[in-house]
Structure 1
Amino acid sequence: MDMFNKVTAFLQQALETREPSINLLESFVDHWKAITNYYIETTDESRAVKNTDIPWRLRQMLDILVYEEKQQGEEAGPCMEYLLQHKILETLCTLGKAQYPPGMSQQVMVFFSKVLSHIQKPVLHLINVYRPVQKLINLCGLPHSQTEKEESQFLFAVCTQVNKDPYVLNYILEIKNDSLKRSSSTSDEAAEKDCSGSSSPERASSPSSSSSACSLLSRSGAHPVSSPQEATGMIPVLLHLEKSEKRRVAHRSLESLLLLVSSTQEDTGHLLAERTPLCDLLAQRLTELYLLIPSTIDPADIHSFSVVQWRTRFTQDSTAESQSFPGSENVYRFFCFLDLCNELIKQAPKVLGVKMARALHSQWLKGVIQPHLLQMSEVGILVHTTLLSCSVRHIHSPALLEELVQFMLGSDTDSETRQHLHTHLLRYRLIEHCNHISDEISITTLRLFEELLQKPNRRILSNLVLRNLENRSYKLPGTGASDERLRVESDLLDESEELEEDPFFPDMYDDSGDSNHEPLLSLPNVRERLNPNLHTQVVDTVNSGLTSSCTRVTSSSSAKVQFQYSRLQEQRTRKTSWMCS
């Protein structure tokens, strides 16, 4: 029993003995000081960052921040406050720009991405966060970059935060209320001031700013690297990464673009439409892909090209392989990007979607396709008419469809006359191509109109059909005496069927006798008798036209039967008189 009590007491004492609590702030500061000491003590400038302990220490700092947030709840912990007050993110951004040690920018982008994605509380609106984020965005999109994967992850994390809180887009795009975006020269001057040690009042309270990073670099003998950039700003960089040969990079960049524009706030739409090059860059990229399609491509291959979605470019290979023909890869990439533009226009706020659709109209439809459709080369007309027909099949966003209808048919709504034939040259030329000397062009153009008529747009049917029926006069069905007359004439036709094939009267169906029908009612009178509902007006107008045509044919046929019958009676009378004599 004594032994049992001793064992129990020993176990209780062991359980009550606790590890001394770890001071998170001290550990966080130690890791940061170890990173800064590396730049003071090292002498090997060629040593890669992955061969140092910098990546491990950055991971430890991130883990501490995440753990602290879980423990603190709503309030910011001391480690996060230390990160912000000592401008650690800005210092890391400067070290990444210097690429010292080699590969440092890759580690910095990974750290930024994980901070933005793992920290649950919003931090992107804080100046000590969004300023280094702005600078790091300007480091993306460098020519021959080896960090495309990290750049795409970083930008995806930024766009995710913007999608959650669209207001921070003002900070990310560096837009002020009283001016447009800052020029690159202003950004360069600000960076020089940071490295020279001059600080604004916001920086005066913290000596550990990017100037400390400059001093660290000067002690280690390294200097910031300045390289020419192909793209500056988040949107140009995203469209630059879309061209990457790495599918995951291109896919993530386009997903980031969708996150950026898919905001329900109209203010964000105005911001992206008026103060960013998004619309022009999208139209420019679509035009570039269109021009890469070879002019020698077989139109039959384009007609057989099925509708594609932009995500299939990154998830499936079977679609492209099943439609393999010379130039198929260029056609496939063009239609994938066209589907992306459709998706962007549908997801974006209305003002931004309309602006993007108009940019595509101006640069792609009117700037590239129209000159090819109006050219004299039959081969060029055939290829580009086929491409436009397949493009119509792929377009499904309402705003872009409106611009397509405006491009092909114009906005005229009045009944056509001979003076109107040249008001919209492209529409007139396409209608002419339906009766082209080349059967291939005629068939292809008819397919184009067939694709257009299948689109759910009221202006298409109105422009091509109804505008030419509105002001015409048609006989209204159900007008009393005319119905009785029509019934009598039908009976005459039934009784005289044996006379239709009489060889003595081969001109029975000559249309020259169509002069005895009644004057037709004018359309205003028809409208007075019809339901004022627009749909009913359209249906009755078409039905009146069909009824009028049938009435004219019936009236003409009945008159000819009566004329034939009278001539036959006269002939029989003459024959009887001759036999009697």
Structure 2
Amino acid sequence: MDMFNKVTAFLQQALETREPSINLLDSFVDHWKAITNYYIETTDESRPVKQTDIPWRLRQMLDILVYEETQQGEETGPCMEYLLQHKILETLCTLGKAQYPPGMSQQVMVFFSKVLSQIQKPVLHLINVYRPVQKLIHLCGLPDSKTETEESQFIFAVCTRVKKDPYVLNYILELTKDSQKKCSSTSDEAVADSCSGASSPESAPSPPPPSSSTASSCSAQSEAHPSSSPQTATGIIPVLMHLGKSQKSRVMLRSMESLLLLVSLPQEDTGHLLAEKTPLCHLLSQRLTELYCLIPSSLDPADIHSYSGAQWREQFTQDSTEESQSFPGSENVHKFFCFLDYCNELTKEAPRILGVKMARTIHLQWLKGIIQPHLLQMSEVVILVHTALLSCSVRHINSPALLEELVQFLLGSDTHCEKRQDTHTHILRYRLIEHCNHISDEISITTLRLFEELLQKPNKSILVNLVLRNLEKRSYRLPGSGVMDETQRVESDVLEESEELEEDPFFTDMYEDSGFGGQEPLLSLPERNSREMRNPSVHTEVADIVNSFLCLVPQEAKTSHLVQGAGYDTYVHDAHKLLKECTALSRDWNWPDSAKPTETSPSTDFYEGHFLLILFDRIARILEQPYELNLQVTSVLSKLAVFPHPHLHEYLLDPYISLSPGARSLFSTLVRVIGDLMQRIQHIHNVTDKLMMVRRQLMGMEEETMVDHVTLLKGVIVLEEFCKELAAIAFVKLPIEEQ
């Protein structure tokens, strides 16, 4: 009984001491009045806000709003109604601007950020919300700001809300008729300035004077495009670009993520707003140009080529900075390529209209405004560094819009057959191809690397512009050839080729002394597929073509069979892989399955085009060029040969085509090289032993020692390997083409 009485008394006491239910609105109003009373009662204006109860009361008000929303459901609660009707956000914005008490702006931004991120209902379209948000954005991005962290969080919260409710973008951009006209005229002036500072394809700009650094040579360009400072240009876009230059990595990351949220809005109308009504495109390309101009021109091109690049987010990791500083100037290189990757992602994620506008502005301001003048000047050092940087840039660009502008910049848009005298249609294209045959071997190697990078990009117009437009009519063939029955083709073409070689003075007595002819055993090809077994002529043709390349180098000049793992078979696997990549690359390019019929009487003489002309000229000098240059030339030609276009395959890999007068193919060029080789090696004692020594040195199996005729011997080794590579490419391609 006593126990029961104690329990009853305890429950009675609990009921008597229970707090009355709290009225949320009364509590919300009390916290707000306490904040306003502080300004009425306080006399110490220097007291920091963190030493007052204002931060605590703002947190309580936020908690009440969030709790009320969970209780009210779809309807707006009384506390939110009070906040809107009494313009509390407007008042807070004014207090933050006044920085009273000191540090108030941080507290206001934190409060705004949490309201926008924690309140689930759409509120940013309400005038008593977006007006103070606009005013608070104007307080962001000011010079020497102490609130960058809070600003970046606030802007990120705004952009997150816009991502959820894209229709509020108009309110955040503050687009009025006057501002739209002003922004549009500013954008047009920027593009006009870029166009006037850059050259058109028909007229080259006056190259700037040589300078010791890229930064100094870009100073004039920077003056021509002054940056839009937050003091004169307001709005969320300039603020984001300003915060993106912060020294605080966290602030920089948040601002870049915020801009990506805005740009990736999928609606075309929002893309149009950002493209035409804001300075976004101009500021992005301007920032890219600024970072490029900070790269010193004293860089070693080898360091640039070895730079692996990085995704833009990686610059904010702890290990990124240490890894990027592997060579002098690498920090600036790393910053530029990280931002280039960021622009690349922006143009990929943006709606088409915005992505194209960003890419075109980058084309005008960076490519034409900065890079082109450097590539067209006479300083070899400047040409070398900027070509290497451009090659590295090509490697990292994969956005379709940005890649299209890059191709237009480098090659132009011509699709008609080239003419020998036509050297001024696109001056940069012509000059870059000429650089592949430059007096400086370093410039030639670097420019060839640029074209090799281009050939690996998923853009059909690159192959069309450089090669295919000149092979379209197949005028490299003798008129009337190619119409015989396929079963007779091999025998007759081999006979014709033999007759041509016998008449060629380079090949006098070749078969008697060199072992080039019947002494070399033909490759025995494995069984390929059931179709070849059913049709032996297919297998025979594959074997003949492959062996034409394998037997091209005379026996005494061959050394690969003397080194383990250096045989022809090693190239077959690589050729399979390369063919698979190129086939995937060109799958959507609608290339024909078979060659186009040749014209019986071509109207003009065949011209292979400037690009192939230079490559063939380089191959013709393979016995007298540096080893590294030979490797690069053969690498580019191998890339071309592996593409599954019937005209490319025929012109580069078919030894038996009957060439029209004055025309040359890759095989006929190699035949001439072999003729030159036969004359040269006759004067070298123990040529096979010396070739073997040089090969082992190149493979790192022996220490390098002085060898006579070392350039010639290295050229012979590259020639042998190139012929094996072409044979492997023909081996993996022909069955596909025959099927």
* TM-score normalised to structure 1 length: 0.78
Match of 1:523 among 598, 611, 615: 598
| 8 Å contact kept, 1:93–1:135 | yes
Aligned pair 1:164/2:170, yes or no?
no
| 8 Å contact kept, 2:493–2:656 | no
Q: CA deviation at 1:480?
A: 6.6
**For residue 203 of structure 1, what is the aligned residue in structure 2?**
none
Q: Are the structure 2 counterparts of residues 182 and 363 from structure 1 closer, same or farther at C-alpha, using a change threshold of 3 Å?
A: closer
User: 1:466 corresponds to which letter in structure 2?
Assistant: L
Q: Are the structure 2 counterparts of residues 94 and 451 from structure 1 closer, same or farther at C-alpha, using a change threshold of 3 Å?
A: same
Match of 2:329 among 308, 327, 336: 327
| 8 Å contact kept, 1:308–1:336 | yes
Q: Distance in 2 between matches of 1:67 and 1:12?
A: 30
Q: Are the structure 2 counterparts of residues 247 and 433 from structure 1 closer, same or farther at C-alpha, using a change threshold of 3 Å?
A: same
**Aligned residues: CA RMSD:** 3.0
**For residue 317 of structure 1, what is the aligned residue in structure 2?**
319
| 8 Å contact kept, 1:143–1:230 | no
| 8 Å contact kept, 2:295–2:332 | yes
**For residue 382 of structure 1, what is the aligned residue in structure 2?**
384
Q: Distance in 2 between matches of 1:301 and 1:499?
A: 49
Stretch deviating more after TM superposition (16-25 or 101-110): 16-25
Aligned pair 1:402/2:404, yes or no?
yes
| 8 Å contact kept, 2:268–2:352 | yes
Q: CA deviation at 1:309?
A: 0.5
Secondary structure at 1:471's aligned position in 2?
Answer: coil
Q: Distance in 2 between matches of 1:156 and 1:375?
A: 44
User: 2:598 corresponds to which letter in structure 1?
Assistant: L
Q: CA deviation at 1:143?
A: 0.6
Secondary structure at 2:312's aligned position in 1?
Answer: coil
Q: Are the structure 2 counterparts of residues 313 and 544 from structure 1 closer, same or farther at C-alpha, using a change threshold of 3 Å?
A: closer
User: 1:6 corresponds to which letter in structure 2?
Assistant: N
| 8 Å contact kept, 2:410–2:429 | yes
Secondary structure at 1:420's aligned position in 2?
Answer: coil
Matches within 5 A, 1:11-22: 11-13=10-12, 18-22=18-22
Matches within 5 A, 1:189-338: 229=231, 232-318=234-320, 320-321=322-323, 323-338=325-340
* Larger Cα-atom Rg: 1
Q: Distance in 1 between matches of 2:249 and 2:471?
A: 53
| 8 Å contact kept, 2:494–2:656 | no
**For residue 132 of structure 2, what is the aligned residue in structure 1?**
132
Q: Distance in 1 between matches of 2:366 and 2:313?
A: 22
Q: Number of matched residues?
A: 484
| 8 Å contact kept, 1:175–1:182 | no
CA-to-aligned-CA distance 1:334-365 (integer Å, 9 cap, x gap): 00000000111111111100000001000000
**For residue 342 of structure 1, what is the aligned residue in structure 2?**
344
Secondary structure at 1:30's aligned position in 2?
Answer: helix
Specify every segment of 5 or more residues in structure 1 that has no aligned partner in the other structure, as ranges: 185-226, 504-520, 527-536, 557-581
Specify every segment of 5 or more residues in structure 2 that has no aligned partner in the other structure, as ranges: 184-228, 514-595, 602-642, 665-739
Secondary structure at 1:465's aligned position in 2?
Answer: helix
Aligned pair 1:101/2:101, yes or no?
yes
| 8 Å contact kept, 1:65–1:79 | yes
User: 1:137 corresponds to which letter in structure 2?
Assistant: I
Q: Distance in 2 between matches of 1:332 and 1:487?
A: 55
Q: Distance in 2 between matches of 1:149 and 1:259?
A: 18
Q: Distance in 2 between matches of 1:454 and 1:484?
A: 33
CA-to-aligned-CA distance 1:526-570 (integer Å, 9 cap, x gap): 9xxxxxxxxxx97332344357752448x99xxxxxxxxxxxxxx
Q: Distance in 2 between matches of 1:539 and 1:183?
A: 51
Q: CA deviation at 1:180?
A: 3.8
Q: Are the structure 2 counterparts of residues 546 and 289 from structure 1 closer, same or farther at C-alpha, using a change threshold of 3 Å?
A: closer
Q: Are the structure 2 counterparts of residues 88 and 182 from structure 1 closer, same or farther at C-alpha, using a change threshold of 3 Å?
A: farther
User: 1:172 corresponds to which letter in structure 2?
Assistant: I
User: 2:444 corresponds to which letter in structure 1?
Assistant: S
Aligned pair 1:9/2:26, yes or no?
no
Q: Are the structure 2 counterparts of residues 56 and 181 from structure 1 closer, same or farther at C-alpha, using a change threshold of 3 Å?
A: farther
Q: Distance in 2 between matches of 1:538 and 1:75?
A: 64
User: 1:120 corresponds to which letter in structure 2?
Assistant: Q
Q: Distance in 2 between matches of 1:358 and 1:138?
A: 29
Q: CA deviation at 1:307?
A: 2.1
**For residue 86 of structure 1, what is the aligned residue in structure 2?**
86
**For residue 143 of structure 1, what is the aligned residue in structure 2?**
143
Q: Are the structure 2 counterparts of residues 548 and 110 from structure 1 closer, same or farther at C-alpha, using a change threshold of 3 Å?
A: closer
Q: CA deviation at 1:449?
A: 0.5
Match of 1:479 among 482, 485, 504: 485
Q: Distance in 1 between matches of 2:464 and 2:158?
A: 46
**For residue 510 of structure 1, what is the aligned residue in structure 2?**
none
**For residue 508 of structure 1, what is the aligned residue in structure 2?**
none
Q: Distance in 2 between matches of 1:401 and 1:481?
A: 45
Q: CA deviation at 1:49?
A: 1.1
Q: Are the structure 2 counterparts of residues 305 and 159 from structure 1 closer, same or farther at C-alpha, using a change threshold of 3 Å?
A: same
User: 2:65 corresponds to which letter in structure 1?
Assistant: L
Q: Distance in 1 between matches of 2:351 and 2:320?
A: 34
Q: Are the structure 2 counterparts of residues 9 and 432 from structure 1 closer, same or farther at C-alpha, using a change threshold of 3 Å?
A: same
User: Percent identity at matched positions?
Assistant: 72
Secondary structure at 1:31's aligned position in 2?
Answer: helix
Secondary structure at 1:75's aligned position in 2?
Answer: coil
CA-to-aligned-CA distance 1:110-141 (integer Å, 9 cap, x gap): 11001101111111010000000000000001
Q: Distance in 2 between matches of 1:247 and 1:398?
A: 29
Q: Are the structure 2 counterparts of residues 108 and 45 from structure 1 closer, same or farther at C-alpha, using a change threshold of 3 Å?
A: same
User: 1:5 corresponds to which letter in structure 2?
Assistant: F
| 8 Å contact kept, 1:477–1:547 | no
Q: Distance in 1 between matches of 2:497 and 2:287?
A: 68
Matches within 5 A, 1:365-444: 365-444=367-446
Secondary structure at 1:61's aligned position in 2?
Answer: helix
Q: Distance in 1 between matches of 2:6 and 2:404?
A: 85
User: 1:265 corresponds to which letter in structure 2?
Assistant: Q
Secondary structure at 2:159's aligned position in 1?
Answer: helix
Q: Distance in 2 between matches of 1:492 and 1:109?
A: 85
Bigger relative contact order, structure 1 or 2, given CA contacts below 8 A and separation 6+?
Answer: 2
Q: Are the structure 2 counterparts of residues 232 and 549 from structure 1 closer, same or farther at C-alpha, using a change threshold of 3 Å?
A: same
Q: Distance in 2 between matches of 1:485 and 1:329?
A: 62
Q: CA deviation at 1:482?
A: 6.0
Q: Distance in 1 between matches of 2:468 and 2:247?
A: 49
Q: CA deviation at 1:63?
A: 1.0
Q: CA deviation at 1:316?
A: 3.6
Q: Distance in 2 between matches of 1:343 and 1:50?
A: 41
Q: Distance in 1 between matches of 2:97 and 2:32?
A: 18
| 8 Å contact kept, 1:141–1:231 | no
Match of 2:648 among 537, 542, 547: 542
CA-to-aligned-CA distance 1:441-464 (integer Å, 9 cap, x gap): 000000110111111111111111
Q: Distance in 2 between matches of 1:254 and 1:547?
A: 49
| 8 Å contact kept, 1:95–1:104 | yes
Q: CA deviation at 1:48?
A: 1.3
Q: Distance in 2 between matches of 1:122 and 1:78?
A: 16
Q: CA deviation at 1:74?
A: 1.2
Q: CA deviation at 1:53?
A: 1.3
Stretch deviating more after TM superposition (134-143 or 539-548): 539-548
Q: Are the structure 2 counterparts of residues 502 and 69 from structure 1 closer, same or farther at C-alpha, using a change threshold of 3 Å?
A: closer
Q: Are the structure 2 counterparts of residues 414 and 490 from structure 1 closer, same or farther at C-alpha, using a change threshold of 3 Å?
A: closer
Q: Distance in 2 between matches of 1:484 and 1:43?
A: 104
Q: Are the structure 2 counterparts of residues 229 and 488 from structure 1 closer, same or farther at C-alpha, using a change threshold of 3 Å?
A: closer
Q: Distance in 2 between matches of 1:446 and 1:228?
A: 43
